[in-house]
Amino acid sequence: MRVPVLCVVMLLAVASACASGGGSGPAEPSETAATPTSTGTGSQPNPPDSPASARGTRLTIVFDDGSGATSTWQLTCDPVGGDHPQPEAACAALQRSASTALPPVPKDRACTQIYGGPQKATITGTWQGRAVNSHFSRVNGCEIARWDALAGLLPDGKS
C-alpha cells in the first residue's frame, strides 16, 4: 500500500520541478523586448490620452564597432530627437521593424551559421511606452537579419 503513495509523491515532486524550470542546465540570461502585445509591465497599453512620454519612444543605443570603440546615442520619437546621427531614419526603422526585430531570436530557431562581423549593440529604454532591453550581434544569419531590419537605427554592419 505504501508503494502507490510513494509513487504519487514522487510524480508530484517531478512535475513540480519541471513546472518550475528546475532542470539541470544553467539558467539562460533573459532579454526583454517590446512586442505589440506586451507593455513590459503586464498592464494594458497606454490609452491615447496619456502623456506622450508615457507612450513614446526614448532609447539609448550603445554600439560597439568590434575594435573596442563604442558610441552611445540617445533617441526619441514623437517628437524625433536626441543625438543619434540619423534620428529620422532611426525612428522610421523602429516604426517599420521594431515589433519583429527587438525581441530576441527564439532559442529553437535554426539559423544559418554565417558570420557577419564583430559589431554589437544594446538598445535599452522604452519603445511606444514598453520596456526594451535588446542585445544585437552579427554572429549568425538570424542575428544579422535582426540587425539589418533596424537599418537606420543601427549602423551598417559592414563598417
- DSSP-assigned letter for residue 159: -
In a domain, 28, yes or no: no
In a domain, 32, yes or no: no
pLDDT of residue 48: 39
Q: Are 123 and 61 in contact (CB under 8 A)?
A: yes
Inter-CA distances, 158 with 138, 147, 155, Å: 10, 11, 8
In a domain, 108, yes or no: yes
Residues 136-148, mean pLDDT to the nearest whole number: 96
pLDDT digits (tens, 9 = 90+) for 86-135: 999 999 999 999 999 999 999 999 999 999 999 999 999 999 989 999 99
Spatial distance between the Cα atoms of 100 and 127, rounded to a whole number of angstroms: 13
pLDDT of residue 49: 39
**In the chain, how many domains are there?**
1
Predicted TM-score of the model (pTM): 0.66
Strand 117-127 with 81-82, pairing:
unpaired
Q: Which domain holds residue 82?
A: 51-159
In a domain, 8, yes or no: no
Residue 156 neighbours by CB distance under 10 Å: 10
pLDDT digits (tens, 9 = 90+) for 19-67: 334 443 333 334 444 443 333 333 333 333 334 444 689 999 999 999 9
Give the CATH number for residue 60: 3.30.350
In a domain, 55, yes or no: yes
In a domain, 113, yes or no: yes
27-61 exposure pattern, b = at least 16 Cβ within 10 A, e = fewer: eeeeebbbeeeebbeeeeebeeeeeeeebbbbbeb
> What grid cell was written down for 23?
532542470
In a domain, 126, yes or no: yes
pLDDT of residue 56: 87
In a domain, 147, yes or no: yes
